[in-house]
């Protein structure tokens, strides 16, 4: 999905910026094209979606009633030394830590000159598809979270001067009333799900990261436990929906006739090094 990947074969763009713009536009056209796979049965029936939504809402309400206030009061009693480590790690749940590097990598790949052979083009195409998937899978749940939390308008812990899990001010669009769902938890679990889709062996480390970020949001009293649970659901489900969208267009993933989703094999490190050497060669 770059000039070197077949979008501009045979043409020499005068500048890297122009190559980048043309190839990004071409990539967007590919991502937004109609699905190549048309399933006879939908991914989920309306009844299944309704049951899933009701379950999520029910679990969230139970947490609000039984867990949120006691846990929040408990963490306010923790000594400062116990809170300090979570203060240091909590900001690593911001989406910018992932979206900026992924976005820059995607643009850099789009700006590469078309001087490589067909095999190298395919390697770069595979890298760009995976980079685009990771960016989209993290950005889409994060964007949804940013909008919905301000519509819900749940107060963060202690904003009202007391622990009140049922303090709401919908549509006020203020940071102190944007607690549900947790944006950091959404990002952390979307990172877990997105990177875990591509590299299953990394899931243990990714799960540890996601759990630490989620717990940190509760310990620093930025969120109630139910906010974090809701954020985890938004992040995970968002990634699965993005993966399904990509699979329908055979971008990095595909869907078998029986409905099983498969990932296309990615380029090995050896092949990536070979392409890098070709790019760096005079």
Q: Residue 95 — pLDDT band, cuts 50, 70, 90?
A: very high
pLDDT reading at 257 higher than 70: yes
**For residue 252, is it left (φ>0), alpha (ψ between -120 and 50) or beta?**
left
pLDDT for position 269? 79
DSSP H or E segment with residue 19: helix 16-31
Q: What is the mean pLDDT of the chain?
A: 87
Looking at per-residue confidence, does 271 or 86 come out higher? 86
Quick: pLDDT tens for 26-42.
899 999 988 877 765 55
Quick: pLDDT tens for 177-189.
999 999 999 999 9
For residue 255, the cross-strand partners are 261
pLDDT for position 39? 62
Q: How many CA atoms lie within 13 A of 150 on its CB side?
A: 9
C-beta pairs of 247-252 under 8 Å, 24+ apart in sequence: 247/37, 248/35, 248/36, 248/37, 248/39, 249/30, 249/31, 249/33, 249/35, 249/36, 249/37, 250/36, 250/37, 251/30, 251/31, 251/129, 251/132, 251/133, 252/126, 252/129, 252/130, 252/133, 252/198
pLDDT for position 45? 62
Quick: pLDDT tens for 188-234.
999 999 999 999 999 999 999 999 999 999 999 999 999 999 999 99
pLDDT for position 271? 77
User: How distant, in Å, are the alpha carbons of 178, 252, 264, 267, 276 from that of 270?
Assistant: 46, 19, 17, 8, 10
Quick: pLDDT tens for 98-116.
999 999 999 999 888 776 6
pLDDT for position 256? 82
DSSP H or E segment with residue 66: none
Q: Is the pTM of this model over 0.85?
A: yes
Q: Residue 71 — pLDDT band, cuts 50, 70, 90?
A: very high
Q: Is the peptide bond before 181 cis (omega within 30 degrees of 0)?
A: yes
């Amino acid at each position: 999905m770059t000039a070197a990947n077949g979008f501009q074969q045979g043409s020499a763009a005068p500048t890297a910026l122009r190559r980048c713009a043309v190839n990004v536009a071409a990539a967007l056209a590919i991502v937004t094209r109609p699905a190549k796979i048309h399933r006879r049965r939908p991914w989920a029936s309306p009844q299944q979606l309704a049951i899933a939504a009701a379950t999520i809402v029910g679990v969230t309400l139970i947490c609000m009633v039984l867990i949120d206030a006691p846990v929040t009061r408990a963490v306010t009693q923790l000594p400062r030394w116990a809170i300090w480590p979570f203060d240091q790690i909590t900001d690593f749940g911001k989406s910018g830590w992932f979206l900026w590097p992924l976005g820059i990598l995607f643009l850099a790949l789009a700006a590469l000159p078309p001087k490589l052979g067909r095999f190298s083009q395919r390697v770069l195409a595979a890298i760009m598809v995976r980079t685009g998937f990771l960016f989209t899978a993290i950005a889409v749940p994060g964007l949804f979270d940013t909008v919905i939390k301000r519509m819900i308008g749940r107060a963060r812990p202690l904003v009202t001067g007391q622990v009140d899990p049922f303090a709401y001010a919908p549509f006020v669009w203020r940071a102190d009333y944007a607690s549900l769902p947790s944006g950091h938890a959404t990002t952390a679990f979307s990172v877990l799900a997105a990177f875990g889709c591509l590299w299953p062996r990394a899931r243990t480390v990714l799960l540890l990261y996601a759990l630490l970020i989620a717990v940190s949001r509760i310990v620093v009293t930025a969120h109630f436990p139910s906010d974090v649970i809701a954020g985890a659901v938004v992040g995970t489900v968002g990634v699965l929906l993005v993966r399904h969208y990509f699979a329908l267009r055979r971008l990095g993933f595909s869907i078998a006739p029986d409905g099983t989703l498969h990932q296309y094999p990615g380029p090995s490190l050896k092949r990536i090094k070979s392409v890098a050497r070709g790019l760096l060669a005079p």
